[in-house]
Amino acid sequence: MTLETRELRKAFGGVVAIDGADVEFLPGKVNALIGPNGSGKTTFFNCVTGMIKPDSGSVLFGGRDLTGKAPHVVARAGVGRTFQLCRVFPRMTAVENVLAAVRPGGLVHGLRSAHRRNETERAHGWLTRLGIEHLADAEARNMSWGQQKLLELAGVLMAEPDTILLDEPAGGVNPALLDRIGTLVRELNAEGRTFVIVEHNMDLVMSISDHIVVFDRGRPIAAGPPAEIRADERVLGAYLGV
C-alpha cells in the first residue's frame, strides 16, 4: 500500500521541523529517507506514526487518512516502526519483549491458552529468523545494542505490518551485523514488505534502497533511484553546504 504525505507541516515553537512535505514512498520497495542532521526525518516519522500530531497536512496509507491517529491505530492499519534509540523492556526476556510488542501490558497472560501458544511460537519464529533465538530467555538488558535492535524489529514483525519504518537501523551496530541487517531488509522486502529507512550510513542506503527521498529543512528536495540521487547536485549541496 502506498504511504504518502500531503503538505505535511510541524513546527516546534519557531522551529519549522516539517515544512509542507509532499512525499510518496513506493509500495513493495525499499525506500530510504535521508538528509542532513536536523532536516526533519525523525519528526516526519513521528508525524506519520502518530507519535506527534502534525499542525496541518495529511498522512495517507493506501488512500486511508491516518492524519493525527493514535500510534496503535496506525500500527493496526499496517505501519510498524522502530526507534532511533531502540525501545525494548530491559528487564523482560527477549521472547517476552516480542510478545509484549503485540500485547502491551502483558495481556498475553489473559489469552486463551491455545492462542497464547500460537503467539509464543510465532515470537520464537521471528527470533529464529533474526538470528537471536539462542537469546530467547535472556533479559534484553544483557543483550548487545545490535541484538536489542534486532529484538525490537522482531516485535514490529509480530504485527505483520505491510510497511516498516526503520529509524537508523545501522546506528551503533558492528559491521557484521550491518551486513545482516541489509540482507534481512532485502529478504523481508522480497516477501512483500515495504520499507522506509532513515539512515546516515550511505553505503547501506545506496546498497539496499530502490528509491531515495532526500530531505532538507523539512521537505523533500529530491527523490529517485540511488544512482540518480548520488549524482544530484542539490543533494550534494544540502550535505556539503555548497
Ligand X SMILES: Nc1ncnc2c1ncn2[C@@H]1O[C@H](COP(=O)(O)OP(=O)(O)OP(=O)(O)O)[C@@H](O)[C@H]1O
Which C-beta is closer to ligand X: that of 11 or that of 138? 11
Piece of the chain touching ligand X by CB under 6 A; list 36-44, 69-77, 172-180, 234-242: 36-44
Contact flag: residue 35 with ligand X (CB under 6 A)? yes
Contact flag: residue 41 with ligand X (CB under 6 A)? yes
Give the shortest CB-217-to-ligand X separation in angstroms: 9
Is residue 186 within 8 A of residue 8, CB to CB? The reply is no
Name which position in 39, 97, 147, 163 contacts ligand X (CB under 6 A). 39
Exposure class string for 104-124: b at 16+ Cβ within 10 A, else e: eeeebeeeeeeeeeebbebbb
Give the Cα separation of 168 and 173 in Å (integer): 10
Contact flag: residue 78 with ligand X (CB under 6 A)? no
Name which position in 1, 7, 29, 42 contacts ligand X (CB under 6 A). 42
Name which position in 14, 37, 191, 192 contacts ligand X (CB under 6 A). 37
Instruction: State the virtual CA torsion across 211, 18, 74, 24 in degrees, nearest 10.
Output: -30
Is residue 222 within 8 A of residue 22, CB to CB? The reply is no
Contact flag: residue 17 with ligand X (CB under 6 A)? yes
Give the shortest CB-51-to-ligand X separation in angstroms: 10
Is residue 21 within 8 A of residue 219, CB to CB? The reply is yes
Give the shortest CB-40-to-ligand X separation in angstroms: 4
Give the Cα separation of 167 and 197 in Å (integer): 6
Q: Which residues bind ligand X (CB under 6 A)?
A: 12, 15, 17, 35, 37-43
